[in-house]
Amino acid sequence: MNHLAVGGVRALLSHRQAPLPPALGGESLASVPVSVVTVDDQAVFRQVARELIDATAGFESIGEAASGEAGIALVDELDPQLVLMDVRMPDMNGIEAARRIKDAHPSTVVLLVSIEDTANLPADVEDSGASEFVRKQDFGPAKLRALWERHGQAA
CATH code of the domain in which 82 resides: 3.40.50.2300
Q: Is 129 exposed, middle or buried (0-12, 13-18, 19+ CB in 10 A)?
A: middle
Domain that holds residue 106: 32-151
What is the count of structural domains for the chain? 1
Is residue 79 one of the residues assigned to a domain? yes
Is residue 71 one of the residues assigned to a domain? yes
Beta pairing class for 82-86 and 109-114: parallel
**Using 50, 70 and 90 to split pLDDT, how confident is the model at 115?**
confident
* pLDDT higher than threshold 80 for residue 133: yes
Is residue 52 one of the residues assigned to a domain? yes
How far is the C-alpha of 70 from the C-alpha of 148, rounded, in Å?
23
How far is the C-alpha of 143 from the C-alpha of 42, rounded, in Å?
21
Is residue 27 one of the residues assigned to a domain? no
**Using 50, 70 and 90 to split pLDDT, how confident is the model at 31?**
confident
CA 7 to chain centre: 18
Q: Whole-prediction pTM value?
A: 0.78
Is residue 146 one of the residues assigned to a domain? yes
Is residue 69 one of the residues assigned to a domain? yes
pLDDT in tens, 32-81: 899 999 999 999 999 999 999 999 999 999 999 999 999 999 999 999 99
Is residue 2 one of the residues assigned to a domain? no
Is residue 11 one of the residues assigned to a domain? no
- Phi, psi (rounded to 5 degrees) for 48: -65, -45
